[in-house]
Amino acid sequence: MKAARFHQHGPPGVIVYEDAPDPIPKPGTAIVRVRACALNHLDLWQRRGLDRVRLPMPHISGSDVAGEVVDGGGGRVPAGTRVLLQPGLNCGTCPRCREGRDSLCPTYDVLGLLSDGGYAELVAVPTGNLVPIPDHIGFVEAAAFPLTFLTAWHMLVTLARVAEGDVVLVLAGGSGVGQAAIQIARLNGARVFATSSPSKAERTKALGAEAVFDHYSGDYAHEVKGLTEGRGADIVVEHAGEATWDRSVRSLARGGRLVTCGATTGHRAAIDLRHLFARQLSLLGSYMGDKAELLAAAPLFFSGRLTPVVDEVLPLAEARAAHERLERKEQFGKIVLVP
């Protein structure tokens, strides 16, 4: 098969489009012909190198995959079925997995991290990770859905318990997680604000944000409080990290919840503990989500109530250019590779 992979860490130029071994069929593992694979910031971090994580080399990234089952691996989903893939990998037998809280599995992994992912013509996944999709759902849209919507669902619905009437502030509303969070918050009856670069403000507002603030300059904490009669946000969806952390904390209403899933601008942050306990704030860490959450969100996607935003579709052979676009933060929504 053809694959876009890297043999060493470094800039986008280390990605090589080349022949790679086909995955080997075995019981319990399905082989899927990749029709589309969406990028995530995780792909960039893998290519650059992650602290305390040793990736198998040469490495094939790609966590967001849609395609057709070639070999069902003896599972319930037969060959020929159109599927998207649950990006989380877990043991399936530990107490957390048996409780349905598989994202807390001690061996939890993400497709394309310690395993080969979807930047290829074929990918191998556990049979339990296959999620059939209706015929009216395109592969590109299906690939743009799983990881970001699962992450945003876990953050907002499961951890922050978003409810009708809540004020939600979403950081980087034009990002994959950001556009998913805006839609999920709106679907749950929340009043939504967002941040973005000025060039993406109008498109972010079109997703359902009442107002969009520039997260590169100005004080969006002051602005969101000004539009909520001094109350602030009940929930802040954070994934930018160091550059926005202080403003995000100050944006919170009394009793507010800040939930974070990333640190794209840096991982060091500080907080005044007096502010934390006096205002009864909650800081929530989030990583991916459980398969049950993806299955809860998927029907809303299939019915058109949640819509992944696709920025650009590129051939798999242009994976290097896709990484460069994502690194420059030019995208609005998801960049998708098509073998």
- CA-based Rg of the chain, rounded to a whole angstrom? 20
Residues 275, 332, single domain; the answer is no
- For residues 98 and 137, state if they share a domain: yes
Decide which of 275 and 294 is more confident.
294
Q: How confident is the model at residue 262 (pLDDT cuts 50, 70, 90)?
A: confident
Question: Do 117 and 184 have their domain in common?
Answer: no
**Residue 320 falls inside a structural domain:** yes
Q: Which amino acid is at 27?
A: P
Say if residue 315's pLDDT is above 90: yes
Q: Note whether residue 293 is domain-resident.
A: no
Task: Look at residue 246 in the predicted model and tell me its pLDDT.
Answer: 92
**133 and 8 together in one domain:** yes
Q: Are residues 156 and 235 in the same domain?
A: yes
**Structure confidence at residue 64 (pLDDT):** 98
Q: Is residue 255 part of a domain?
A: yes
Q: Are residues 200 and 104 in the same domain?
A: no
Amino acid at 88: G
Give the pLDDT confidence score for residue 52 in this predicted structure. Answer: 86
Q: Are residues 78 and 26 in the same domain?
A: yes
Q: Is residue 9 part of a domain?
A: yes
Q: What is the pLDDT of residues 192-247, one digit of tens each?
A: 999 999 999 999 999 999 999 998 888 999 999 999 999 999 999 999 888 889 99
* Other CB atoms within 10 Å distance of the CB of residue 271: 13
What percent of the chain has a predicted confidence (pLDDT) above 90? 91
Pair 163, 209 in one domain = yes
**b/e burial code for range 169-198 (CB count within 10 A of at least 16 → b):** bbbbbbbbbbbbbbbbbbbbebbbbbbbbe
Q: Is the pLDDT of residue 310 over 90?
A: yes
Q: Which domain holds residue 42?
A: 2-145+308-338
CB 105 within 8 A of CB 90: yes
Question: Are both 278 and 321 inside the same structural domain?
Answer: no
Angle between helices 146-153 and 291-302 (to 10 degrees): 110
Instruction: Write down the pLDDT at residue 215.
Output: 82
Looking at the fold, whether 64 and 174 belong to one and the same domain comes out as no
* In a domain? residue 173: yes
> How many structural domains is the chain composed of?
2
> Burial of 229 by CB count in 10 Å (0-12 exposed, 13-18 middle, 19+ buried)?
exposed
302 domain-assigned: no
What pLDDT is recorded for position 152? 97
* Residues β-bridged to residue 233: 252
pLDDT over 90 at 338, yes or no: yes
Residue 316 lies in a domain: yes
- Same domain (yes/no): 220, 164: yes
pLDDT digits (tens, 9 = 90+) for 130-158: 999 999 999 999 999 999 999 999 999 99
pLDDT band at 115 (very low <50, low <70, confident <90, very high): very high
Place of tokens 């290519």: 47
Cβ atoms of residues 145 and 84 within 8 Å: yes
CATH number at residue 59: 3.90.180.10
- SS3 sequence of the chain: CEEEEECCCCCHHHEEEEECCCCCCECCEEEEEEEEEECCHHHHHHHHCCCCCCCCCCECCCCEEEEEEEECCCCCCCCCCEEEECCEECCCCCHHHHCCCHHHCCCCEECCCCCCCCCECEEEEEHHHEEECCCCCCHHHHHCCHHHHHHHHHHHHHHCCCCCCCEEEECCCCCHHHHHHHHHHHHCCCEEEEEECHHHHHHHHHCCCCEEEECCCCCHHHHHHHCCCCCCEEEEEECCCCCCHHHHHHCEEEEEEEEECCCCCCCCCCCCHHHHHHCCCEEEECCCCCHHHHHHHHHHHHCCCCCCCEEEEEEHHHHHHHHHHHHCCCCCCEEEEEC
Q: Residue 51 pLDDT > 90, yes or no?
A: no
Of the pLDDT bands very low, low, confident and very high (cuts 50, 70, 90), residue 318 is very high
The reply to whether 303 falls in a domain is no
193: domain CATH number is 3.40.50.720
Mean pLDDT to the nearest integer, 8-29: 96
- The overall average pLDDT reported for the chain is 95
146-153 and 176-187 helices, crossing angle to 10°: 50
Instruction: Note whether 157 and 186 are same-domain residues.
Output: yes
Query: Tokens for 77?
Result: 């989903």
